Homo-oligomer: A and B are copies of this chain.
């Protein structure tokens, strides 16, 4: 018998890590389902009926490969955003686009800057291409643009990542602060501005798009506000040379055809988006109420989730989390201290949040008695 395949030294060195354990995986491990799926910041309000209809109609055309240029979607996005379609790259979710971006820019030993405890899937891609991750701490539960830029300058970073609004904390900076960050990006560094949750943020959160600015690439998605996490449609907005570079390595026929059709329909249904935004605002308030009823504070949120401060350290919050999971409530929490004193609860409809409200007092009591 031969020795089998030889992995690259880099691949050999990587752990078989999973940035997140999916809820279905947890359900199989537990042997029974969750009663409230509040851990992955999915939109429990679902996609628009118009999206469901568009996807159902497109199902019969699934014998065709998706359009390799995602032309109709890019035309619609260009119109929606007021930028030329050559500034837009559609890809397999922000996760997929982040993978392509890291592959384009990060080689073995290249430095990349992010916040300690920020989006782990980005870090996974950086590690996966041999990059060296350098982190700065959060500041008052916000990502810290000044510290990120200073560190990027110090280590000559290829990329510096920030999510605005932030995941996992839900906090945000206003457009002026973010524009100042863009203006401070060092030569040779690219700012990755992840705006996955932007549609839940107040007006004035996103800096104006300057499509030719080579210092920043922005990532947005249909997974969150548009309720299409399972469709895998994200998009990047950036200067043409960078957007064009994706064509060198992307999976040209990687987009599912039904997903393309669904995203076009979603973008056209801004009334439904407004309904979701209103429901999210109500649900954020409800989560804050539930927390307060249990003597806990919440962080302000510009996203579809709320960080609840469990009032002690990370070990205590991890106990609360596992007690909630034991009570069939799927939630997650920040990975790094001191943000890991919180648990992160996605908004849901009243029934989901009632289930959470019912479980939380017992979960807290059990965590305190452990």
Contacts and interface: CB of A to CB of B under 8 A. Distances in A.
A289 B242 CA distance: 49
Q: How many copies, total?
A: 2
Contacts of A159: 5
A351 interface: no
Nearest to A43: B63
Interface stretch (A12-20, A166-174, A360-368): A12-20
A137 interface: no
Interface string A54-98: 011001111111111101000000000000000000001101100
A298 interface: no
Which 6 pairs show the lowest CB-CB distances between chains A and B?
Answer: A4-B214, A230-B257, A56-B56, A5-B190, A55-B59, A22-B68
Interface string A213-253: 01101000001000111111000000101101101110111
B214 A55 contact: no
A338 interface: no
A85 to B, nearest CB: 12
A46 B25 contact: no
A188 interface: yes
Given A59-B56, A256-B256, A3 B187 contact: yes
A275 to B, nearest CB: 14
B215 A2 contact: yes
26 contacts: A2-B188, A2-B214, A2-B215, A4-B214, A4-B242, A5-B104, A5-B189, A5-B190, A10-B107, A11-B105, A22-B68, A22-B69, A46-B60, A47-B62, A52-B60, A59-B59, A62-B227, A62-B262, A92-B92, A95-B253, A96-B251, A96-B254, A231-B256, A232-B253, A232-B254, A256-B256
B7 A245 contact: yes
Contacts of A44: 63
Interface residues of A, number: 95
Contact of A188 (B6, B59, B66): B6
A28 interface: yes
